Copies of this chain bind each other. A is one copy, B any other.
């Protein structure tokens, strides 16, 4: 029994402190590839326990790695310097869904999909919809400022965080923001905590904005002769004054994989596929869908599938999910890079991806949120644990990120920096911004115990 374990058992009921092999194993990794053992796992049950752990950790300079559902894609919660893996997964209560105030108050371990369902039961809506919403948690969503397809119309996680309870690096309990829908009281510490990847504080409660649920939604799935035609349609839809709730694009490589997996006959023709979702009142959605269909026909769509209600939409979304499965079905490992480009550079990106594929021999599949330029660019590699293959893949990712940064893009739109994007963070931020990151980090976490070894450490 280490001293750390024994000390923590004084602060947190012993049944919530673990050094079991199984718990260590689970907490050494997220959905990315890096892994490292924590010395101890703490399953916090209350804010006060988190505060007690942080007081102790700060005093003794013990690294603390906060973890929600552990489904991050960049190794953000991996305890690279050992210490404490602080799980908030069991702080998973929806404390309140209050339609009168338009807020939901939740603990960080609440699964995002559960919150959506709880709001929906009352006719209200929590829009942020990361693809992993059935397994990811609100705490992780806040830590990475998670996005999703519907963020095009509705905005990302930070736009729904009205207030937070945060335990600071020194173990104090802080409330920022609150349950008001507007708040200009001081600096925007609420949003600073959003996306801070466990490096500035530990979120122990969130007060989230919910909005009236749109009465219905509808979708069109349209195939085009090539990616350029589909990208042109994206811009034409927006230029027509339409802001869809989602606008998803898929490239030729992904479609080919889907044809292979689902059968040629189950996929539309063409080398690009566009999904457009709209929502609103029943009558409005019906008439708008008609107009949108005509617009897509004018834009040269080869075939259009129409989903006139929510159940039918689900089928088109299933196709979207099947694209992911199709890529997995190739037997290759999918390195999913959530890059973003200015929307006018969608075609340039896909052309670059084709060139990258030619130059490196690594297949590249592009699909994602076309409306906001956030295209998941998937490098399909063989065994990533093979050092030779890994080196080749990493070199290809480097080429991709270099191109993205040279074209005013961002190396991460949704997943965060974590370990995966750490090698590029200085280049991405530039020296002045990087220095300001350091200044803020040092001011708020003077001993550097919150998630050390990530993008602000050498």
Contact = CB atoms under 8 A, between A and B. Distances in A.
A220 interface: no
Task: Name, among A99, A180, A239, the residue most crowded by chain B CB atoms within 10 Å (CB to CB).
Answer: A180
Interface string A267-310: 00000000000001101100110010000000000000000000
Interface in A68-126: 98-103, 123
A371 B180 CA distance: 11
A214 B283 CA distance: 17
Given A185-B412, A455-B186, A180 B241 contact: no
Given A187-B195, A281-B287, A284-B283, A374 B240 contact: no
A351 to B, nearest CB: 16
A287 B411 CA distance: 43
Interface stretch (A31-39, A170-178, A251-259, A356-364): A170-178
Contact of A174 (B156, B417, B432): B432
B185 A410 contact: yes
A408 B100 CA distance: 14
Interface in A405-441: 408-417, 421, 425, 428-430, 432-434, 436-437, 439-440
Interface in A199-219: 199-200, 211-215
Q: How many copies does the complex hold?
A: 2
Contact of A100 (B194, B344, B372): B344
Contact of A215 (B181, B241, B343, B416): B241
Of all A-B residue pairs in the complex, the 7 with the closest CB atoms, nearest first, are A284-B284, A100-B344, A182-B413, A181-B372, A443-B443, A174-B432, A180-B340
Task: Name, among A185, A436, A442, the residue most crowded by chain B CB atoms within 10 Å (CB to CB).
Answer: A185
30 contacts: A100-B343, A100-B344, A101-B373, A145-B188, A155-B155, A159-B159, A180-B342, A180-B373, A180-B374, A180-B408, A181-B372, A181-B373, A182-B369, A182-B413, A184-B412, A185-B425, A185-B428, A186-B425, A186-B437, A187-B192, A187-B200, A211-B243, A215-B241, A281-B284, A281-B287, A283-B284, A283-B288, A440-B440, A442-B443, A443-B443
A402 to B, nearest CB: 14
A341 interface: yes
Given A175-B430, A442-B443, A444-B439, A181 B239 contact: no
A415 B283 CA distance: 39
A159 B182 CA distance: 12
Interface of A: 98-103, 123, 144-145, 147, 151-152, 155-156, 158-159, 168, 172-176, 178-189, 191-192, 194-196, 199-200, 211-215, 235, 238-243, 280-281, 283-284, 287-288, 291, 338, 340-344, 369, 371-374, 408-417, 421, 425, 428-430, 432-434, 436-437, 439-440, 442-444, 455
Given A155-B155, A178-B410, A212-B239, 9 more contacts: A99-B239, A174-B430, A180-B342, A185-B429, A186-B429, A188-B196, A189-B433, A212-B240, A283-B287
Contacts of A344: 98, 100-101
A147 to B, nearest CB: 6
Contacts of A434: 186
Contacts of A281: 241-242, 284, 287-288, 291
Nearest to A282: B287
Contacts of A151: 182
Task: Name, among A187, A374, A436, the residue most crowded by chain B CB atoms within 10 Å (CB to CB).
Answer: A187
A441 to B, nearest CB: 8
Contact of A433 (B156, B174, B280, B371): B174
A284 B243 CA distance: 14
Contacts of A179: 342, 408
A173 B440 CA distance: 17
B186 A428 contact: yes
Contacts of A183: 340, 410, 412-413
A144 B184 contact: yes
Contacts of A439: 443-444
